[in-house]
Amino acid sequence: MRLVRQKKQSQKRLQRLLPKVHIKIQDGRFEVLGMNVWYSYWRDPYHLLLTIPWPGFLGLIALFYLTTNALFALAYLAGGDCIANARPGSFLDAFFFSVQTLASIGYGAMFPKTTYANIIVTIEAMMGLVGIAVLTGLAFARFSRPTARVIFSRVAVIAPHNGIPTLMFRAANKRRNQILEAQLRVYLMRDEVTTEGQFIRRFHELNLLRNQTPSFTLSWTAMHPIDELSPLYGMTPESLVSTKTSIVVSLSGIDETVAQVLHARQTYAAHEILWNNQFVDIFYHTSDGHRYIDYNYFHDVVPLE
């Protein structure tokens, strides 16, 4: 009985640490409800402070700062007349003395005059050093988080390329810099039933004609040939929908400006994969022999004749 009771208690502790996760699959898109929203990290304060919007972050800092100084002001008042040149029993004088102590300002008009006050000042000064270091680190971590300004075409197409049906989609770098050692990985995700009759959600990696480039600057058209070895071989638009198929794209590389690894993702549902269509050409030639890219047609497709 004791072992059963301990097992139930451990299960309850695990349920508190690992709450229920709600999953939704819509149009082949695998979505975890509440994922990547800042308020979902309330059990993890560090991630909460990194993901909360800037107004909320600054508001929490202000609230923490005011609360800390108010508590130390009450501690000074509890020591009686322990601050020189402060009005006896004045909360405002004690509060502003705490502000000067916490920030190591030291104007000199008010100063501790008892042992009790010096002990509180020592504790507050140590807390101020640690607090400033932590808040500075959090602010720097928020500013230094790498972000990828990579866009993907709204749809993917299946069209012949060198006589072979090929899955294609576009990616573009919106920044005017380079993403070094960029790499694309593409996965097909669909519902399948094993030979034992078990339902599973299976991932298949799709091979690309070129899955990496030393420098991703402007545009990149990814191509996956649908041959006998492809998981898409023999599939139709109807079978993509019935199996809740989706194409998951993951791009990673090193941002040339900040020398940090960045990531970008895109998911194409079954209805976003257009058969017998091709992308509109975005490369043009000028009269003097130069070439340019017109991103106004980046998402446009035309049906094959």
Q: What percent of the chain has pLDDT over 90?
A: 55
**Which of 161-165, 195-199, 285-289 has the highest average model confidence (pLDDT)?**
161-165
Residues in the chain: 305
Number of domains in the chain: 2
The pLDDT of residue 14: 41
Domain boundary, last residue among 144, 174, 189 = 144
d(CA 70, CA 86) in angstroms, rounded, equals 16
Same structural domain for residues 172 and 285?
yes
Same domain, 70 and 175: no
253 found inside a domain: yes
CATH of the domain at 265: 2.60.40.1400
pTM listed for this prediction = 0.69
Q: Where is the domain boundary, 144, 170, 202?
A: 144
The whole domain housing 240 covers: 150-303
pLDDT over 60 at 283, yes or no: yes
| Domain end point (choices 144, 169, 185) | 144
Pull the structure tokens for residue 98: 């705490």
**44-58, 128-142, 202-216, 251-265: lowest mean pLDDT where?**
44-58
Structure tokens at 39: 């308020």
Check whether residue 109 and residue 181 sit in a common domain: no
Same-domain status, 288 and 248: yes
Same domain, 139 and 154: no
Tell me: the pLDDT tens digits for 10-50? 555 544 544 555 555 555 555 555 555 545 556 778 888 88
Instruction: Give the pLDDT of residue 195.
Output: 82
Do 138 and 269 lie in one domain? The reply is: no
Max CA distance (Å), the chain: 92
Query: How many angstroms separate the Cα of 279 from the Cα of each of 93, 123, 188, 249?
Result: 70, 66, 21, 18
Supply the pLDDT for residue 23. Answer: 53
CATH of the domain at 89: 1.10.287.70
pLDDT(8) > 70 = no
Give the pLDDT score at 217: 87
Of 160-169, 196-205, 282-291, the range with the highest mean pLDDT is 160-169
Place 222 in a pLDDT band, splitting at 50, 70 and 90.
Answer: very high
pLDDT digits (tens, 9 = 90+) for 141-189: 888 887 888 999 999 999 999 999 999 999 999 887 889 999 999 999 9
159 and 262 part of one domain: yes
Does 213 share its domain with 294? yes
Q: Is residue 158 part of a domain?
A: yes
pLDDT: is 148 or 102 the higher one?
A: 102
In a domain? residue 2:
no
Residues 136 and 206 in one domain: no
Alpha carbon distances (Å) from 129 to 68, 71, 135, 137, 153: 13, 17, 10, 12, 49
Q: Report if residue 21 sits inside a domain.
A: no
Q: Are residues 119 and 243 in the same domain?
A: no
Is residue 199 in a domain? yes
Asked whether residue 25 is assigned to any structural domain, the reply reads no
Same domain for 194 and 131 = no
3-state secondary structure the chain: CHHHHHHHHHHHHHHHHCCCCCEEEECCEEEECCCCCHHHHCCCHHHHHHHCCHHHHHHHHHHHHHHHHHHHHHHHHHCCCCEECCCCCCHHHHHHHHHHHHCCCCCCCCEECCHHHHHHHHHHHHHHHHHHHHHHHHHHHHHHCCCCCEEECCCEEEEEECCEEEEEEEEEECCCCCEEEEEEEEEEEEEEECCCCCEEEEEEEECCCCCEEEEECCEEEEEEECCCCCCCCCCCHHHHHHCCCEEEEEEEEEECCCCEEEEEEEEEEHHHEEECEEECCCEEECCCCCEEECHHHCCCEEECC
What does the pLDDT read at residue 228?
92
Number of Cβ within 10 Å of residue 249's Cβ equals 19
d(CA 47, CA 40): 9
Quick one: what percent of the chain has pLDDT higher than 70? 86
pLDDT value of position 157:
96
Return the minimum-mean-pLDDT range out of 187-191, 229-233, 247-251, 280-284. Answer: 280-284
Mean pLDDT of 265-294: 88
Is 3 inside any structural domain?
no
Same domain, 183 and 93: no
The answer to the question of residue 34 being in a domain is no
